[in-house]
Structure 1
Amino acid sequence: MKLAEALILRADYQKRIEQLKSRLLQNIQVQEGDDPYENPKELMKELTDLLSQLQDLVQKINKTNLLTPFNETESLADVLVKRDLIGQERSIYSNLLEQANFRQDRYSRSEIKYVTTINVKENQKHVDELSKKYRLLDMKIQELNWQTDLLEK
């Protein structure tokens, strides 16, 4: 199995776990005398099995990321951290720009006037550069994910 396939499977497991959680919550209590639509014990067993499969898969993914070279100096795990931090920085600066661009209507000169304290144009350029850096790095990561075989324990 390729690493990219394992990542897709992980997302599927996580989605199924959330669905099982929801189904459990819907069937955990019923009116006295009624039967639940689904057997909670069976749902709990299915949830436990799925969580075990997810744990095994995540451990294999983590091992693969750690031991797969991305370039001469960094592993795939190192670059994933770098990509996530670039994304976080981009998100923070985007939120700052959104706040800086907020227009507040004033109805008279006596109302308080707010001014932006950052250079919007410079910061927008920085967000654009971060977006490009994130996108290029993510494309290389995705390419490597489809070329890399998932390592077994």
Structure 2
Amino acid sequence: MKLAEALAERAEATRRVEQLRTRVVGNARYQEGETPSEDAAQLLAETGEVLDTLEALIRRINRTNATVEMGPDGTLTDALARRDVLRLRHSVVTAAADAAAGTGDRGHGRQLRSELLMLSALPVPELRARADALAKEIREVDVRIQRKNWEVDLLE
């Protein structure tokens, strides 16, 4: 099985656990004289089985990610960490640019000349350019990660 297939299975198992959790909670109590639409104990047991499978899958994915070399990016785990931090960095820079530009500041513009003028403490065009460069780097790292996911076999 390729790593990408395992990642898809992990996502599906995670969705399944959430669906089962919702069904367990919805059937955990019922009114006297009624019967629940589903057996909560059976659903809970099924959830446990899916979680056990999910844990084993996550362990294999993590083991694979830690051993797969990505050249200058280090291991696949290193590349994933890089992508996560780039996303956070992009988020901070974008938020700073938006705040400096006054985006979302309805009603805070000057209405009269006697009101104080709001000034930007940060260079908005430079921040926007930096955010664009970060977005490009995120895409490039993500493409390398995705490519490797389809090339690498999942470890046992």
TM score, norm. by length of structure 1: 0.93
Q: Distance in 2 between matches of 1:72 and 1:134?
A: 15
Partner of 1:43: 43
- 1:102-130 CA-to-partner distances (Å, cap 9, x unmatched) read 25332223434322110000000000000
Aligned pairs for 1:23-34 within 5 A: 23-34=23-34
Q: Does 1:149 align with 2:153?
A: yes
Relative distance call for 1:124 and 1:73 in structure 2 (3 A) is closer
Q: 2:126 aligns with which of 83, 100, 122?
A: 122
Structure 1 spans left out of the alignment, 5+ residues: none
Using the TM superposition, name which of 73-82 and 39-48 deviates more.
Answer: 73-82
1:82-121: CA deviation from partner (whole Å, max 9, x where unpaired): 1110011001111222222225332223434322110000
TM-score (norm 2): 0.92
Matched residue type, 1:133:
E
Cα distance between partner residues in 2 of 1:73 and 1:99: 33
AA partner of residue 86 (structure 1): L
Amino acid corresponding to residue 129 of structure 1 in structure 2: A
Quote the RMSD (CA, aligned, Å).
1.4
Classify the secondary structure of the residue corresponding to 1:109: coil
- 1:106 matches 2:110: yes
Instruction: Measure how far apart 1:73 and its partner are.
Output: 6.8
In 1, Cα distance between the equivalents of 2:145 and 2:64?
13
Q: Secondary structure at the match of 1:37?
A: coil
Q: Is the aligned partner of 1:66 residue 2:79?
A: no
Instruction: Quote the residue 1:22 is aligned against.
Output: 22
Q: CA deviation at 1:72?
A: 5.6
Summarize the Cα distance change of 1:78–1:13 in structure 2 as closer, same or farther, 3 Å threshold: same
Alignment of 1:65-104 (within 5 A): 65-71=65-71, 74-101=74-101, 102=103, 103=105, 104=108
| Count of residue pairs brought into register by the alignment | 152
Q: In structure 2, how many angstroms separate the alpha carbons of the residues matched to 1:89 and 1:73?
A: 18
In terms of mean alpha carbon deviation, does 141-150 or 66-75 score higher?
A: 66-75
Q: Which runs of 5+ in 2 are unaligned?
A: none
